[in-house]
């Protein structure tokens, strides 16, 4: 299956905006700056556009062991905008959602069965404070797509040794070491991360060993610095939209107002068409309202 890497992204940006490969005096159009502009457009414009469809894109979860007398649990660092989708308590096979509580209405510092939560800076505060070390706190949130990285700064897997949890790549970037947190990125859509923030246990010029490997790891998948990816982590059909967004910013940066205006007109059409593809995400029967305790 074809993979749309940042190399393809840069080719699309340069072609769409007639942007030369030779850098200008301000270095606006060099690889690093185009990838930076692409990342900013992805996080500030494209991600909110996709999330606005309210079709559960990027929703993931992190579990915390609930500890007696501990009310504060730090929000996942990769939560977009430090926003949560849902906060749940898991007890065995039972799951129920907590309700948000206005912190101005907190009336006790005592412990008890958790009923709700509120935010305090980057902490999620359970209320009341858990009385027992029991159950799991599950925070469902919108995961932030990784920053765009040049293919040359990453490593593609060419062989896997499951028995030793070792992968082979063509070349390990010289800046990587066993203290470097790495992400694994799937090479096929939806380009998700089966592993994040995992440092190798050992490394050679062409092999990297981890404590464990995900069961769905495949030849062709990528390794990158934590929170970076050689593939824009968006639906495949949105790749041209991100490229066009970047073209507009690049032309504005070099002062080509007429070119940016024309590119913006194309952007509006591409954005409208792309949005239609994901709204609604399911084209089957309309959703039905059901009871919380359905079977």
Q: Are residues 169 and 186 part of one domain?
A: yes
Cα separation, 63 vs 165, in Å, equals 25
201 domain-assigned: yes
289 domain-assigned: no
What's the total number of domains in the chain? 3
pLDDT at 285: 60
Q: Are residues 126 and 65 part of one domain?
A: yes
Q: Are residues 178 and 111 part of one domain?
A: no
Q: Are residues 67 and 53 part of one domain?
A: no
291 domain-assigned: no
Q: Are residues 127 and 64 part of one domain?
A: yes
Domain boundary at 74, 109, 142, which? 142
172 domain-assigned: yes
- For the segment 14-26, what is each residue's pLDDT rounded down to a tens digit? 999 998 887 766 6
Q: Are residues 237 and 164 part of one domain?
A: no
pLDDT at 256: 92
Beta-strand ranges (E) seen in the chain are: 59-65, 72-74, 79-91, 94-97, 99-100, 111-112, 116-120, 123-127, 129-130, 136-143, 147-148, 155-161, 166-169, 182-185, 195-198, 202-203, 207-209, 222-225, 228-229
Q: Are residues 163 and 129 part of one domain?
A: no
Please, which residues bridge with residue 84 across strands? 141
Which residue range forms the structural domain that includes residue 21?
Answer: 1-58+232-279
Q: Are residues 256 and 207 part of one domain?
A: no
Q: Are residues 95 and 132 part of one domain?
A: yes
Q: Are residues 64 and 54 part of one domain?
A: no
285 domain-assigned: no
Q: Are residues 70 and 10 part of one domain?
A: no
Please, which residues bridge with residue 138 across strands? 63, 88
- For the segment 210-245, what is each residue's pLDDT rounded down to a tens digit? 999 999 999 999 999 999 999 999 998 899 999 999
198 domain-assigned: yes
128 domain-assigned: yes
Domain boundary at 90, 115, 142, which? 142
Quickly state the pLDDT bin for 288 (edges 50, 70, 90). low
pLDDT at 295: 44
pLDDT at 231: 97
166 domain-assigned: yes
Domain boundary at 96, 115, 142, which? 142
């Amino acid at each position: 299956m074809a993979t749309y890497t940042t190399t393809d992204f840069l080719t699309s940006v340069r072609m769409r905006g007639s942007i030369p490969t030779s850098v200008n005096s301000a270095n606006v159009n060099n690889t690093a700056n185009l990838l930076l502009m692409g990342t900013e457009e992805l996080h500030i414009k494209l991600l909110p556009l996709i999330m606005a469809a309210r079709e559960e894109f990027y929703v993931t979860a992190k579990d915390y062991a609930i500890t007696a007398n501990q009310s504060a649990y730090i929000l996942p660092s990769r939560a977009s905008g430090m926003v949560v989708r849902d906060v749940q308590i898991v007890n065995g096979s039972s799951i129920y959602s907590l309700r948000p509580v206005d912190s101005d209405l907190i009336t006790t510092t005592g412990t008890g069965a958790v009923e709700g939560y509120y935010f305090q800076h980057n902490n999620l505060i359970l209320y009341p404070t858990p009385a027992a070390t029991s159950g799991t706190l599950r925070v469902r949130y919108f995961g932030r797509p990784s920053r765009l990285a040049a293919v040359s700064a990453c490593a593609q897997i060419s062989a896997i040794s499951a028995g030793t949890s070792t992968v082979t790549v063509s070349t390990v970037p010289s800046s990587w070491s066993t203290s470097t947190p790495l992400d694994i990125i799937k090479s096929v859509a939806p380009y998700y991360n089966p592993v994040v923030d995992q440092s190798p246990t050992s490394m050679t010029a062409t092999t990297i060993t981890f404590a464990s490997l995900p069961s769905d790891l495949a030849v062709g998948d990528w390794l990158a610095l934590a929170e970076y990816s050689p593939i824009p982590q968006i639906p495949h059909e949105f790749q041209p939209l991100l490229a066009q967004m970047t073209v507009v910013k690049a032309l504005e940066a070099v002062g080509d107002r007429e070119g940016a205006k024309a590119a913006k007109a194309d952007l509006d059409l591409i954005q409208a068409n792309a949005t239609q593809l994901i709204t609604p995400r399911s084209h089957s029967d309309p959703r039905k309202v059901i009871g919380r305790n359905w079977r």
